[in-house]
Each structure stands twice: as C-alpha cells, then as structure tokens.
C-alpha cells in the first residue's frame, strides 16, 4: 500500500483517521491522529504545504511509521476482532489483505470484481465504477442538476443526457466534458455516500476539515451538493467493519484520481 499512501496529503490521513477511529476497536487506532498530526507538523516545518504531498518533506522514519500504522488499521477494520486476535496469537499476519477488502467493497457496492492491478488502480476502478452506476440511477432531472452544479451549461447537459439515453461510462463522460468535471461528479457522489454511512454530523465535520486544508480540491463541492446525494445511495451494510471499509476504499479511490488533475496555483 506504500504507493497508494504516497499520494496522500497530511489532511487525508487525518480524514481517514476520523473514519477509522472507534471505541469498539481493540487495536491502537488512537495512534492514528497523533501520527497524522506529527506527519503534518514535520512536513510543515520542512516547507511542505497542504497543496503538496508530504512524502518528500517528512523524514523517512516518520513516513514509514505512519504508512505501516495506517495499513495495519485498515486491514484490521476489514477483519472481525476475533479473527484479528486469532491471527495475532497464532503468528499469522493480523488483518485481511487490502486487496481482499477492495474485492469485498466492490461486491457490496455491486460493481463487479475489480480487474487485476495495483492497489491504486483497483481503488480508482471501484470509485469510478460505483459513481458512474449511481449517476446512472438518478432521474434525468437530477443528472442535469448535478452537471449544472459542476459548471456544465444547461443546454450542453441536456443534449448530452438526451444523446446518452441513460447509458454512461467514464470515458464517455470525460470526452463529453473534461476530467475536472467528471472528477467533481465522482467526488460529489463519493462524499454523499460516505456521509450516509458514517452519519451526517461526522461527515460534515470531516468535510469541513478538508475544505480548510485542501480548498483547491473540495471547496467547490458545497455541502449542499453531497448532502442531497445522501438519498441517492441505498445498500445494506452488515457489520461495523463494512461501515468503515467502504468509505475508506472510496476515499482512497478519489485521492488516487486526484493526482491526475493538475493542482491550481495560488
């Protein structure tokens, strides 16, 4: 997971820690926020801003400790406490594999089995396929309003929706608009889904934190947009672990996609 973590910014780790933390966990997830804050603090001291990945500015030992702790916690939340303890006591690697978690999330979200690839490729695929499927299920009026909220002119949105006849795919959306618009659509749906799963109060707090730290990435996706999307997603998540693994995988997916869009200056 090192390659996947290397594209995350300090604020991303704090956001993920907010999703992972739980009084029911028996692992040391309380260390996550401390490590994320230390990572951000050291990066800032070394001249990195929140618009930059901190990977090159934080000492390797701090970076490795953070990456290892997050990987352990993510793999832990994908496993029951009993299974985690059993693996630890028997000398096996604690927690399920990350790719097993990704496959489980893909199955829950009914997007099919992810193709073979790296961790980054798989989480991007799940996030993209899921967001496209959710967009397809909206009424044409809801689709038009979402596209307009992302800066697409009404006439262009209506012409596209009429031509597509309810059949969508990411390449087609990117060709019709641009990568920034399509990523905005994906983010709106993903943040709405996360809000539905973790609760609107926590989701609002975490989203507000991101707006303060990464405004260039999320401040044009207003809370009103993703709050409305809460009603668009329906699925049955059984067990507390999946209420964490689904948001984690989806969020990692959009963070990985972020590297494909140039960051604005200023």
What is the per-residue pLDDT across 37-74, written as a single tens digit (0 to 9) for each? Answer: 777 666 555 555 444 444 454 567 777 888 888 888 88
Quote the tokens at residue 130: 């899921």
Segment 224-243 shows an average pLDDT of: 60
Banded model confidence at residue 136, pLDDT cuts 50, 70, 90:
confident
226-236: string of b/e by CB count within 10 Å (b at 16+)? bbbbbebbeee
97 vs 37, which has greater pLDDT? 97
Token code pair at residue 71: 């990987």
- Provide the pLDDT for residue 53: 47
Answer whether 103's CB lies under 8 Å from 113's CB: yes
- pLDDT of 263 over the 80 cut: no
Across the range 249-262, mean pLDDT stands at: 87
User: In this structure, what DSSP letter does residue 201 have?
Assistant: H
Neighbour count for residue 38 (Cβ, 10 Å): 16
pLDDT in tens, 168-199: 887 788 888 888 888 888 898 899 888 888 88
Question: In angstroms, rounded to a whole number, what is the distance separating the alpha carbons of residues 1 and 221?
Answer: 28
pLDDT computed for residue 27 by the predictor = 47
Element (H, E) at 232: none
Q: Write out the two tokens for 228.
A: 């409305």
């Amino acid at each position: 997971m090192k390659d996947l973590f290397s594209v995350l910014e300090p604020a991303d780790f704090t956001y993920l820690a907010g999703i992972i933390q739980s009084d029911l966990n028996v692992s040391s997830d309380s260390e996550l926020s401390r490590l994320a804050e230390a990572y951000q603090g050291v990066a800032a001291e070394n001249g990195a801003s929140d618009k930059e990945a901190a990977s090159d500015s934080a000492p390797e030992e701090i970076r490795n400790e953070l990456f290892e702790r997050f990987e352990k916690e993510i793999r832990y939340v994908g496993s029951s406490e009993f299974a985690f303890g059993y693996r630890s006591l028997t000398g096996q690697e604690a927690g399920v594999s990350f790719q097993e978690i990704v496959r489980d999330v893909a199955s829950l979200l009914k997007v099919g089995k992810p193709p073979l690839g790296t961790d980054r490729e798989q989480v991007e695929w799940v996030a993209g396929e899921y967001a496209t499927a959710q967009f397809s299920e909206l009424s044409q009026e809801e689709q038009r309003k979402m596209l307009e909220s992302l800066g697409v002119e009404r006439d262009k949105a209506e012409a596209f929706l009429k031509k597509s006849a309810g059949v969508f795919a990411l390449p087609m959306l990117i060709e019709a608009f641009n990568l920034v618009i399509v990523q905005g659509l994906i983010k709106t749906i993903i943040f709405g889904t996360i809000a539905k799963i973790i609760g609107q109060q926590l989701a609002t707090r975490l989203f507000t934190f991101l707006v303060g730290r990464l405004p260039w990435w999320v401040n044009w996706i207003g809370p009103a947009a993703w709050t409305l999307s809460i009603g668009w997603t329906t699925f049955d998540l059984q067990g507390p672990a999946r209420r964490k693994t689904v948001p984690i995988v989806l969020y990692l997916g959009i963070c990985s996609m972020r590297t494909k869009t140039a960051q604005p200056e200023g």
